[in-house]
Chains A and B, each alone.
Chain A
Amino acid sequence: MAEERHIFSVLVENRFGVLARIAGLFSGRGFNIDSLNVAETDDPGVSHMTIVTHGDAQIIEQIYKHLNKLIDVIKVIDLTVENHVERELVLIKVYAEPQRRGEILQIVEIFRAHTVDVGPDSLIIEVTGDEGKLKAVVDLLRPYGIRELARTGKIAIMRGAPR
């Protein structure tokens, strides 16, 4: 069976040990996590997780069912099959000698990224977007020398009114 990438949006009780339960579900059954993001929602009692994973249709179905089976999980949506918005934020510390700064700042501007820190020989650039945009920026900056890179992992929610 063909492997597919899926994005799950998971609402969980904001409680001790929830993250470990989710991580344990994946590691214990040999499922993959490509990225995972967790933070409180508007309701401090509830956290939202975005889990990006991949596997064949049967594995994806198992992941969906096992997430639902966890006692602390309130709701699971497989966003891949829904109309949704996904975003990721990346911080890139790029090597930037004074004479090359101009070029780098141009890239920043074209992609509507931001420069969030300036050091003697480096810049920290913040980019938000979908996968394609982040990849384009990173690829363009790579030749200058990327010293550090940190990404949030994807966050995603469904478009429109909640069902």
Chain B
Amino acid sequence: MELSGAKILIESLKQEGVEYIFGVNGGAAMPIFDALYDHPDVKLIMMRHEQGASHAADGYARATGKVGVTLATSGPGATNLVTGIATAYMDSIPMVAITGQVFTHLMGNDAFQECDVIGVTRPVCKHSYLIKSGDEVAEVIAEAFHIASTGRPGPVVVDFAKDAQIHESLFRYPEKVNIRSYKPKVEGHPRQIAKAVELIHNAERPILYAGGGVTLSDASEELRELAIKTGIPITVTLMGLGAFPETHPLAMEMPGMHGSCCANYAFTDSDLVVAIGARFDDRVTGDLTKFAPNAKKIHIDIDASCIGKNVPIDVPIVGDAKRVLAEMNKLVHRVDIEPWMRQINEWKAQYPFEYEQNGDNIMPQYVIEQIYDLYSDAIVVGDVGQHQMWAAQYFKFTEPRQWLNSGGLGTMGFSLPAAIGAQLGCPDKTVVNINGDGSYIMTIQELVPAISMKLPLKIFIINNMYLGMVRQWQELFHQKRYAAVDYHDNPDFAQLADAFGATGIRVDRIEDVRPALEKAKAINDGPVVIDFIVDEEENVFPMVPAGAGLGDVIRGLA
């Protein structure tokens, strides 16, 4: 039977097991939305802004490990998607972003709502396709899903001309995809693995350094086995939190700019760093010349271009973290690093994450501690800023895919729409959104679909009436010149939530924090928004100032 290109697209998505598409309608995508109108299997989630749609697809992917799908019209719809595509790209999230495009005969003519989407998105996606004919659709979609979800995952853009959406052709879905120029290397080289194991067995001060790649490759079990079998202490990055339980005695908590002193000192003093699915990001390493100066380095990554990019590597292993760790686990045994562990435990005891109570103010860290106490099993979706760092520090993540945040691009506004995607992907989980007052208002319109779908999101705003993270830098490095960070003109977020049709609660006294969180737990017929009015000028510590080495971490202002 002949089907329109738009129908072939939807049937192809069904073949890929797609449950949800997050999108916003518009002229050049109308045939696609029409094909979705009464489709029994593939559901369209109507978001209120394309950026929200892309983050929702991303949140769905992060929470489930499946490919997230987002859909927008040409021109402004497509450009609105770009932030979400770039966000997914930086964190290697599998996503397929579909954009309508003007008729092929109009392309290149500056037609109404025309935009060179392939050109605009080229540097922020893993790959892209332009569909100019209906009979290309099935093959392109099969390839797009294959590329998005294999190797180092990432977003794939499919730009779909309107005439190709209408044009009818025969639907036949490819049984398997074979792209001769794309064959990701998953198996680590046995000789390299043997070399790595030898270094591990001979090290005196080794550490494991795991990142988001462990979660992406579903290698959390293998990572746990490696750490526990060898007895080597481990630090997990912001992107990987939960891949190893923070509650385990070997856990040193996250490293880097706002990481634990223990992790940062351990890097600095170590003689062996085993990096697994982590990319030596500048927010982790600080000044490279002072980064782990005495350590040999092993780097396991599926992306060869990540290895040796920032830091010279002694034993590179290109491969899928899950496979490589499984091989390593067959060879490793317990290492005798008694004095090193004593040092690690001393640092841990001496420098835990801590804060001082300021008068009667609600301290933001206290709010996170209480959230953790009541919602320790929840999926937590963080936004970007101080609240993100406090959430990472004070919530003890124990499972992969439990902590979702925009680590690489640091996209404010990510979290509310991403929480929607996560909740749809994991209907049986509680989804907590830890947001900032500045970040929240960037995508606040996405409350609407959350309310329409009665999603029981717990939206907790750490409201310091500032773009707090920027204010902190101004306080520390710009003589307190608070340029363009004062958000005291914020609306009343609780009233605003009520006006949207959600439940809004304002909390401005310490004693109300816990009861409000408990109350939120009981509300499950739609989103709850709690506006926590917190200490305005609290800072995030520890802090490795930009340009300093990890050993020069500032523990606090006193």
A interface residue numbers (CB < 8 A to B): 12-13, 16-17, 20-21, 24, 28, 58, 61-62, 65-66, 68-69, 71-74
Residues of B within 8 A of A66 (CB): 305
Distance in angstroms between the alpha carbons of A21 and B126 in the assembled complex? 11
12 CB < 8 A contacts A-B? A12-B181, A13-B181, A17-B128, A17-B130, A20-B122, A62-B305, A62-B309, A68-B304, A69-B305, A71-B126, A71-B179, A74-B180
User: B-side binding surface: helix, strand, loop or mixed?
Assistant: mixed
Residues of B within 8 A of A65 (CB): 304-305
Is B348 among interface residues, defined by CB-CB distance under 8 A?
A: no
Select from chain B the residue with minimum beta-carbon distance to A13.
B181
Distance in angstroms between the alpha carbons of A62 and B310 in the assembled complex? 11
Task: Tell whether A61 pairs with B308 under 8 Å between CB atoms, given A17-B118, A17-B128, A20-B122.
Answer: yes
Please report which residues of chain B, range 239-265, place their CB below 8 angstroms from some CB of chain A when the two chains form the complex: none
Residues of A within 8 A of B506 (CB): none
Please report which residues of chain B, range 259-315, place their CB below 8 angstroms from some CB of chain A when the two chains form the complex: 303-305, 308-309
**Do B122 and A69 touch (CB < 8 A)?**
no
User: A-side binding surface: helix, strand, loop or mixed?
Assistant: helix
**Do A72 and B303 touch (CB < 8 A)?**
no
Task: Tell whether A69 pairs with B130 under 8 Å between CB atoms, given A20-B119, A20-B122.
Answer: no
Task: Tell whether A71 pairs with B181 under 8 Å between CB atoms, given A20-B119, A21-B122, A24-B122.
Answer: yes
**Do A28 and B123 touch (CB < 8 A)?**
yes
Is B323 among interface residues, defined by CB-CB distance under 8 A?
A: no
**Do A71 and B304 touch (CB < 8 A)?**
no
**Do A58 and B180 touch (CB < 8 A)?**
no
Task: Tell whether A16 pairs with B309 under 8 Å between CB atoms, given A65-B304, A69-B304, A71-B179.
Answer: no
Distance in angstroms between the alpha carbons of A12 and B182 in the assembled complex? 11
Distance in angstroms between the alpha carbons of A13 and B127 in the assembled complex? 13
Q: Kindly list the 7 A-B residue pairs having the minimum CB-CB distance in the complex, ordered from nearest.
A: A65-B305, A74-B181, A71-B127, A65-B304, A28-B123, A71-B182, A24-B122
Kindly count the residue-residue contacts between A and B in the assembled complex, taking CB atoms under 8 Å apart: 35
Q: A17-B122, A28-B123, A66-B305 are in contact. List 20 more A-B contacts (CB 8 A).
A: A12-B181, A13-B181, A16-B130, A17-B118, A17-B128, A17-B130, A20-B122, A21-B122, A62-B305, A62-B309, A65-B304, A65-B305, A68-B304, A68-B305, A69-B303, A69-B305, A71-B147, A71-B179, A71-B181, A71-B182
Distance in angstroms between the alpha carbons of A67 and B309 in the assembled complex? 14
Residues of A within 8 A of B147 (CB): 71
Residues of A within 8 A of B304 (CB): 65, 68-69
Closest Cβ of chain A: how far from B362's Cβ, in Å?
44
Distance in angstroms between the alpha carbons of A57 and B109 in the assembled complex? 44
B interface residue numbers (CB < 8 A to A): 118-119, 122-123, 126-128, 130, 147, 179-182, 303-305, 308-309
Out of A16, A61, A62, A73, name the residue touching B181 (CB < 8 Å). Answer: A73
Residues of A within 8 A of B179 (CB): 71
Select from chain A the residue with minimum beta-carbon distance to B119.
A20
Residues of B within 8 A of A61 (CB): 308
Residues of A within 8 A of B305 (CB): 62, 65-66, 68-69
Distance in angstroms between the alpha carbons of A17 and B123 in the assembled complex? 13
Closest Cβ of chain B: how far from A25's Cβ, in Å?
9
Out of B118, B130, B181, B308, name the residue touching A72 (CB < 8 Å). Answer: B181
Residues of A within 8 A of B119 (CB): 20
Closest Cβ of chain B: how far from A162's Cβ, in Å?
15
Distance in angstroms between the alpha carbons of A39 and B543 in the assembled complex? 53
Select from chain B the residue with minimum beta-carbon distance to A61.
B308
Select from chain B the residue with minimum beta-carbon distance to A17.
B118
Residues of B within 8 A of A69 (CB): 303-305
Residues of B within 8 A of A73 (CB): 181
Closest Cβ of chain A: how far from B430's Cβ, in Å?
38
Task: Indicate the member of A16, A20, A69, A73 with the most B CB atoms within 10 Å.
Answer: A69
Residues of B within 8 A of A62 (CB): 305, 309
Distance in angstroms between the alpha carbons of A66 and B130 in the assembled complex? 22
Residues of A within 8 A of B181 (CB): 12-13, 71-74
Closest Cβ of chain A: how far from B205's Cβ, in Å?
27
Distance in angstroms between the alpha carbons of A66 and B303 in the assembled complex? 10
Select from chain A the residue with minimum beta-carbon distance to B179.
A71
Select from chain A the residue with minimum beta-carbon distance to B152.
A69
Closest Cβ of chain A: how far from B172's Cβ, in Å?
22
Select from chain A the residue with minimum beta-carbon distance to B132.
A16
Closest Cβ of chain A: how far from B529's Cβ, in Å?
40
Select from chain A the residue with minimum beta-carbon distance to B147.
A71
Closest Cβ of chain A: how far from B119's Cβ, in Å?
7
Select from chain B the residue with minimum beta-carbon distance to A24.
B122
Closest Cβ of chain A: how far from B158's Cβ, in Å?
13
Closest Cβ of chain A: how far from B312's Cβ, in Å?
9
Distance in angstroms between the alpha carbons of A10 and B122 in the assembled complex? 20
Residues of B within 8 A of A28 (CB): 123
Select from chain A the residue with minimum beta-carbon distance to B127.
A71
Distance in angstroms between the alpha carbons of A65 and B305 in the assembled complex? 5
Distance in angstroms between the alpha carbons of A69 and B304 in the assembled complex? 8
Select from chain A the residue with minimum beta-carbon distance to B118.
A17
Closest Cβ of chain A: how far from B552's Cβ, in Å?
26
Residues of A within 8 A of B122 (CB): 17, 20-21, 24
Residues of A within 8 A of B118 (CB): 17
Select from chain B the residue with minimum beta-carbon distance to A74.
B181
Select from chain B the residue with minimum beta-carbon distance to A63.
B305
**Do A58 and B308 touch (CB < 8 A)?**
yes
Select from chain A the residue with minimum beta-carbon distance to B318.
A65
Distance in angstroms between the alpha carbons of A13 and B180 in the assembled complex? 9
Distance in angstroms between the alpha carbons of A72 and B118 in the assembled complex? 15
Distance in angstroms between the alpha carbons of A141 and B147 in the assembled complex? 53
**Do A24 and B126 touch (CB < 8 A)?**
no
Distance in angstroms between the alpha carbons of A73 and B126 in the assembled complex? 13
Residues of A within 8 A of B182 (CB): 71
